[in-house]
Amino acid sequence: MKAYRILVSGIVQGVGFRPFIYRIAVKSNVYGYVKNLGGSEVEIKIIGREENIGKFFSLLFSKIPPPAKIEKILIEEDNVQDIHEFKILPSGNVVNEPSQIPPDLSICDDCLREILDPKDRRYKYPFNSCAYCGPRYSMLYKIPYDRENTAMRDFPLCDKCKAEYEDPENERRFDAQGISCPICGPKVFLSTSDGEIIQDKDPIATAAKLIEEGYILAIKGIGGFHIAANPFDDDVVIKLRERKNRPQQPFALMALSVDVIKKYAEVSQLEEELLKSLERPIVLLRKKEDSEISKYVSPYLDREGFFLYYTGLHYLLLDNLKEKISIMTSGNKHGLPMCTDEECVKTKLKGVVDYILYHNRKIVNRVDDSVIRISSGRIMFLRRSRGYAPTWIRIKRKLRKVTVAVGAELQNVGAVAFDDKVILTQYIGDTDELNTLEELEKYIKFFLNTYHLTPEVIVADKNPAYQSTRLASKLSEEYSAELVQVQHHLAHGLSAMAEYGLNDAVGIIIDGIGYGDDGNGWGGEVINIKDHGEKYSREYHLKYVPYTGGDINSLKPDRMLALFLSTFMNWNEIQNYVKLSDTELKVLEYQTRKNRLFTSSTGRFLDSISALLDICHYRTYEGEPAIKLEAFARNGKLLDFEFPIINNEIDTTAAFKWIIENGIQDKPSIAYTIQYELGKALVRAALKLNPEKIVVSGGASVNEYILKGMIENSEGVEILTQSKVPPGDGGIALGQVYYISEEK
């Protein structure tokens, strides 16, 4: 006889881990117990014959429940006790590690099989879930993850469900908090946009029929409402764009299977894995040239966002559609957060949707869909939200003080951090909008309360115009916590360094605009970062150009183009290249004469090239001109051009001179060359600092061709990009936290 004590930590709560241990222990004939240590740690004791213990371990490592994640496992020999059964013991009080809030998971294959089986009692049941699947965080009021702490508390278990819940032999339903059935669970309703309920035996099938007929529907999911519409009908898509006041921003498409998606887009193996993963992110895939999806779904882009169903409701809805695919875009009006209740749909989406398909389970926490793309073979988050948040990220350093980071401003994400754990909030949105700013505060406080923390340090950006900075000073007063401000691009660099546990690195930060230490708008920077940011020097940057007029230049690429041209061309000549009225150009000229603000932004540079090549003249969503420029370069070739590096500036104006001198014929190749060469120039600059490691971050680092230019010219120095959090402003909070961290 032998005995072992095993300590497991990671995602081991709310994912059927203890019942799993119980079952494999019984199966392999070992005795002992399993118990929750109150945190994200589980203690297991096993006693048995050596071959049985071997069997137990092999089952443990091969059959682990899909959503469980073992971060750390400690196995030690223990003394043999006289125990002859295996038990699940009540949770311990010793909190070694606080329990981790489980993220939302897509419906598992077993649950799906049940709802497709006419003989199963959960046939066509849209809310089927089990220990291994279903919503978690989005319906959680507080931890521990018990039914009475979730929105499922409104649905007491019926006798049959209760029996399943209490039966330790029931692999998927024993002790599973979110389970339900058609008798005891939530119900689905179909209503008009005013909320008038339409009596219908099968509201989901009817909703599908309405989508096919060209109506626009609000669909209640698990983290919020989607808006569904027929993606094949140009008129419908245009109608949706008008109603949503979203002229160009792409809509995501939800499909029933990867095979369906493959009809419209190219899917690599890695992309297929991402699509099928339990987190079910939206993946931006390369469109097929002959795709039948309306071109208005993602206008002028070469990628389109696809994701798979992640609830029974989605599955049943899509299965009722002829082509098994629908537009599923977030249910909000442009600039406002996604709706999470019917009231919001009836008021805020009035005039946008024709019908509402909803259910009576409350959405406790808004969780938007996650968005991922692959650039030059690397996973890049554009949005880290459902499925991932609020799983914590562990860093190789340590926080001696409880830290709150408020991130940046647009597409914002905040963080709460302690020990070596950084909990990034789900995607919050644009915090210049007051309600969204309040949500940032709400979710930061939710994590503070959940993990019983009082912040000692609040970290914010240095930008005095950010509302998040305002929140930071409010929080710092409220908790008497120290307020620390970190430069935007340093935070981007640190975010990447946090992923790799680096103390020193050379950071190439390619971004829109952030507030620089000299008051100018930085955004194309090579920063030598030492001691996790305590020391840093900005060694190279894109050439400074005037930034007269401020944010309006972000919206109108032609203004920015004129400002670039104004560095080497007179204003009479400029008017031949920009699409601006005479008056606006005159105003710009006048303002430029007294300009005191400059920028080294990569985003604004790409925007201007996009305008010069007549690709995009107005920005209606974040990054639009640059994203369209990237799309344009798809079949481009490398032409003969190189950016000069003069002193500490990469001369971006050379690109305009080159294009104007050579004329604009082969636009894709020009677009390709500019982006590729920009990456190359940045890496050349970085290499002058003899770096061991180069980290790349900032919103523009998802750009396929810039990245390619870097990777292919790095002379063997590793180019580290971000794969755990977005390199855009959604990852800033991680960098802000890392700045505060200390040696372990």
Interface contacts to other proteins, rule CB under 8 A: 245, 333-336, 348, 408-411, 432-435, 437, 463-467, 470, 488, 511-515, 519, 521, 523, 547-555, 583-584, 586-591, 593, 596-597, 599, 603, 622, 699, 728-729
Least distance to Zn ion from the beta carbon of 364, Å?
20
The two structure tokens encoding residue 318: 């899509």
User: Could you give the residue ranges of the DSSP H alpha helices within 464-551?
Assistant: 467-478, 488-500
Q: How far is CA 576 from CA 293, 543, 570, 657, in A?
A: 37, 23, 11, 14
Q: Which does 181 bind (CB under 5 to 8 A by kind): Zn ion, Fe ion, other proteins, none?
A: Zn ion
Least distance to Zn ion from the beta carbon of 183, Å?
5
102 vs 728, beta carbon nearer Fe ion: 728
Residue 13 CA to residue 100 CA, distance in Å, equals: 8
Residue in 88, 158, 336, 379 binding Zn ion, rule: CB under 5 A: 158
What lies within 8 Å, CB to CB, of 193 at 6+ separation is 218, 345, 346, 349, 350, 351, 353, 354, 355, 356
What lies within 8 Å, CB to CB, of 111 at 6+ separation is 122, 128, 129, 130, 133, 134, 172, 312
Least distance to other proteins from the beta carbon of 552, Å?
3
Q: Which does 161 bind (CB under 5 to 8 A by kind): other proteins, Zn ion, Fe ion, none?
A: Zn ion
Q: Is 622 in the site for Fe ion (CB under 5 A)?
A: no
**DSSP state, residue 690:** -
Q: Where are the beta strands (DSSP E) in 556-626?
A: 598-599
31 vs 466, beta carbon nearer other proteins: 466
- The angle that helices 602-612 and 624-632 make with each other, rounded to 10 degrees, is 60
Task: Please list, residue by residue across 173-182, b when 16 or more beta carbons sit within 10 angstroms of its beta carbon and e when fewer do.
Answer: bbbbbbbbbb
41 vs 461, beta carbon nearer other proteins: 461
Least distance to Fe ion from the beta carbon of 475, Å?
21
Least distance to other proteins from the beta carbon of 551, Å?
5
432 vs 482, beta carbon nearer Fe ion: 432
- The angle that helices 312-319 and 109-116 make with each other, rounded to 10 degrees, is 50
Residue in 6, 68, 161, 207 binding Zn ion, rule: CB under 5 A: 161
Residue 577 CA to residue 561 CA, distance in Å, equals: 8
444 vs 585, beta carbon nearer other proteins: 585
Cis before 65 (ω within 30): no
The two structure tokens encoding residue 651: 């001369």
158 vs 645, beta carbon nearer Zn ion: 158
Residue in 342, 630, 677, 729 binding Fe ion, rule: CB under 5 A: 729
Bridge partner list, 696: 508
Cis before 250 (ω within 30): no
Q: Is 511 in the site for Fe ion (CB under 5 A)?
A: yes
Closest CA to 642 of 719, 695, 543, 709: 709
What lies within 8 Å, CB to CB, of 371 at 6+ separation is 252, 281, 282, 283, 284, 305, 381, 382, 383
Q: How far is CA 487 from CA 72, 125, 408, 527, 539, in A?
A: 34, 50, 10, 11, 15
43 vs 511, beta carbon nearer Fe ion: 511
Please state, as a whole number, how many other Cβ atoms lie within 10 Å of the Cβ of residue 202: 14
Q: In what order do the strands lie in the sheet with 415-424?
A: 415-424, 393-405, 457-461, 482-486
- Contact present, 348 and 335 (Cβ < 8 Å): no
Please state, as a whole number, how many other Cβ atoms lie within 10 Å of the Cβ of residue 323: 17
Q: Interface residues for Zn ion in 165-194 (CB under 5 A)?
A: 181, 183-184
Radius of gyration (C-alpha) of the chain in whole angstroms? 27
Least distance to Fe ion from the beta carbon of 512, Å?
6
Contact segment (CB under 5 A) with Fe ion among 531-539, 641-649, 717-725, 729-737 equals: 729-737
For residue 9, the surrounding DSSP H or E stretch is strand 2-11
Size of the chain, expressed as the number of residues it contains: 744
Residue 222 CA to residue 118 CA, distance in Å, equals: 25
130 vs 253, beta carbon nearer Zn ion: 130
Contact segment (CB under 5 A) with Fe ion among 41-49, 80-88, 291-299, 508-516 equals: 508-516
Q: Which does 43 bind (CB under 5 to 8 A by kind): Zn ion, Fe ion, other proteins, none?
A: none
Q: Is 304 in the site for Fe ion (CB under 5 A)?
A: no
Site string for Zn ion, 113-152 (x = CB under 5 A): -----------------x-xx-------------------
Q: Which does 551 bind (CB under 5 to 8 A by kind): other proteins, Zn ion, Fe ion, none?
A: other proteins
Residue 672 CA to residue 674 CA, distance in Å, equals: 6
- Residues that contact Fe ion, how many (by CB under 5 A): 2
Least distance to Zn ion from the beta carbon of 119, Å?
17
Least distance to Fe ion from the beta carbon of 699, Å?
5
Residue 617 CA to residue 608 CA, distance in Å, equals: 9
Least distance to other proteins from the beta carbon of 618, Å?
12
Residue 139 CA to residue 362 CA, distance in Å, equals: 7
Q: Interface residues for Fe ion in 417-436 (CB under 5 A)?
A: none
Q: Is 461 in the site for Fe ion (CB under 5 A)?
A: no
**Cα dihedral across residues 558, 560, 564, 565: positive or negative:** positive
The two structure tokens encoding residue 392: 């914590």
Catalytic residue ranges: 18, 36
The two structure tokens encoding residue 703: 């750009």
Bridge partner list, 11: 69
107 vs 374, beta carbon nearer Zn ion: 107
- Residues that contact Zn ion, how many (by CB under 5 A): 10
Q: How far is CA 494 from the centre of its chain?
A: 18
For 304, the 3-state DSSP assignment is strand
Least distance to Zn ion from the beta carbon of 164, Å?
8
Least distance to other proteins from the beta carbon of 471, Å?
10
97 vs 729, beta carbon nearer Fe ion: 729
558 vs 729, beta carbon nearer Fe ion: 729
Q: Which does 569 bind (CB under 5 to 8 A by kind): other proteins, Fe ion, Zn ion, none?
A: none
Residue in 6, 111, 140, 685 binding Zn ion, rule: CB under 5 A: 111
Q: Which does 133 bind (CB under 5 to 8 A by kind): Fe ion, Zn ion, other proteins, none?
A: Zn ion
Q: Which does 591 bind (CB under 5 to 8 A by kind): Fe ion, Zn ion, other proteins, none?
A: other proteins
Q: Is 254 in the site for Zn ion (CB under 5 A)?
A: no
410 vs 498, beta carbon nearer other proteins: 410
Least distance to other proteins from the beta carbon of 259, Å?
38
Q: Is 525 in the site for Fe ion (CB under 5 A)?
A: no
Residue 471 CA to residue 362 CA, distance in Å, equals: 28
Q: Which does 548 bind (CB under 5 to 8 A by kind): Fe ion, other proteins, Zn ion, none?
A: other proteins
For 15, the 3-state DSSP assignment is coil
Contact segment (CB under 5 A) with Zn ion among 100-108, 280-288, 482-490, 647-655 equals: 100-108
Q: Is 43 in the site for Fe ion (CB under 5 A)?
A: no
Q: Which does 567 bind (CB under 5 to 8 A by kind): other proteins, Fe ion, Zn ion, none?
A: none
Residue in 105, 108, 176, 308 binding Zn ion, rule: CB under 5 A: 108
Q: Is 112 in the site for Zn ion (CB under 5 A)?
A: no
Binding residues for Zn ion, rule: CB under 5 A, are: 108, 111, 130, 132-133, 158, 161, 181, 183-184
Binding residues for Fe ion, rule: CB under 5 A, are: 511, 729
